[in-house]
């Protein structure tokens, strides 16, 4: 297992999604989002190579992969390094992913 380390921008993405679920659907939905996120990050920690490289190819970012959350329309974008996995973004699957991925920290 490798530690999963979110970048600052990913932390803001998570906070924004949590707050969105909290205001739109209530605390149960927001906490279920956190549970789904934790399960996905646990999977990434154990099997970082299992995520799709689709956007990595599309954006010309070697090694970039993404993994979907279960029951929530979000994707975790990450890079695997020797000692850890770095989460770059956590984005809604219907967003303009290439534009969001290229936005500055």
Tens digit of each residue's pLDDT, the chain (105 residues): 999 999 999 999 999 999 999 999 999 999 999 999 999 999 999 999 999 999 999 888 999 999 999 999 999 999 999 999 999 999 999 888 777 776 654
Query: Is 77 within 8 Å of 87 (Cβ atoms)?
Result: yes
CA dihedral 25, 95, 35, 43 (to 10 degrees): 170
Within a 13 Å sphere around the CA of 51, how many CA atoms are in the beta-carbon half?
28
The whole-angstrom distance between residue 88's C-alpha and the CA centroid of its chain comes to 7
pLDDT at 95 (0 to 100): 86
Q: Please check whether the domain covering 4-102 is classified as CATH 2.102.10.10.
A: no
Of 37, 49, 56, 68, residue with least CA distance to 98: 56
Q: Domain segments of the chain: what residues?
A: 4-102
């Amino acid at each position: 297992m490798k530690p999963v380390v979110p970048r600052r921008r990913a932390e803001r993405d998570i906070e924004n999604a949590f707050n969105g679920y909290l205001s739109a659907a209530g605390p149960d939905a927001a906490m279920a989002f956190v549970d789904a996120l934790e399960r996905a990050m646990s999977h990434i920690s154990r099997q970082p190579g299992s995520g799709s490289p689709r956007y990595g190819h599309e954006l010309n970012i070697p090694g970039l992969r993404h993994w979907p959350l279960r029951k929530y329309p979000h994707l975790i974008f990450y890079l695997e390094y020797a000692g850890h996995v770095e989460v770059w973004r956590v984005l809604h699957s219907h967003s303009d992913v290439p534009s969001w991925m290229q936005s500055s920290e």
